[in-house]
Amino acid sequence: MNEQKLIYGLRNGEEWAFKELVSRFQDNVFNTSMGLLQHYTDAEDIAQEVFIQVYRSINSFKEASSLSTWIYRITVSKSLDLLRSKKRKKRFGFVSSLFGIDNQPIHEPIEFNHPGVLLDRRENAAILFSLVDELPENQRTAFLLNKVEELSYREIAAIMNTTEAAVDALLQRAKQNLRKKIKKLAP
């Protein structure tokens, strides 16, 4: 089925269209969110939120980009919003503990459980993802979209609303920063 027919079905509230939307994009949405959040339950929640937002706002979709680009943008945005929220809660938890309020950490430790990572490689992958998580937000986003989702520079540029040259620069800086971090870990 072509994209126009799917959009038409979604705009008319057709149940088959929503099922097709979820079937077509659920893996990409979940994996993108998982790559950014590194937490299975949070990635599931974000995936649900993404599909609800797409369904509710399909009439405002201008079709200036592809449907998949629009969905990736929503996924990245919602995932980064959740990360920012967790960081605020973590900072608040630290400050609260300094003042003795409840003395319990608010932020849960990140649970690493990315699909597709073999069990024997999970520990190394967890280390790599923790290093990726330390990258600046735009570098981390570009890196994960390119290396985990295997998107082209053009697709990443559309999702991040930037140029392909900027994506290339972000990826180069991300790789450079990761090399430095990995060298620090080496004995």
What are the structural domains of the chain? 1-115 (1.10.1740.10), 118-187 (1.10.10.10)
Residue 42 has pLDDT above 80, yes or no: yes
Give the pLDDT mean for 18-42. Answer: 93
- The 3-state DSSP class for residue 12 equals coil
95 vs 40, higher pLDDT: 40
**Is 142 within 8 Å of 167 (Cβ atoms)?**
yes
The full DSSP string for 158-177 is HHHTS-HHHHHHHHHHHHHH
Mean pLDDT of 73-91: 82
CB 151 within 8 A of CB 145: yes
Instruction: Look up residue 16 and give its DSSP letter.
Output: H
pLDDT at position 50 over 80: yes
- If 0-12 CB within 10 Å is exposed, 13-18 middle and 19+ buried, where does residue 31 land? buried
Spatial distance between the Cα atoms of 158 and 162, rounded to a whole number of angstroms: 7
Determine the average pLDDT of the residues in 61-77: 93
- Model pLDDT for residues 86-143, shown as the tens digit of each residue: 776 554 444 344 334 444 444 444 444 555 544 546 667 777 888 888 999 999 999 9
* Average confidence (pLDDT) over 57-73: 93
Q: Among residues 69, 77, 65, 73, which one has the least CA distance to residue 152?
A: 69
Asked whether the beta carbons of 72 and 143 are under 8 A apart, the reply is no
Q: Answer yes or no: is pLDDT of 53 > 50.
A: yes
Helix 67-98 to helix 153-160 angle (10° resolution) is 60
Q: Output the pLDDT for position 171.
A: 96
- pLDDT > 60? residue 163: yes
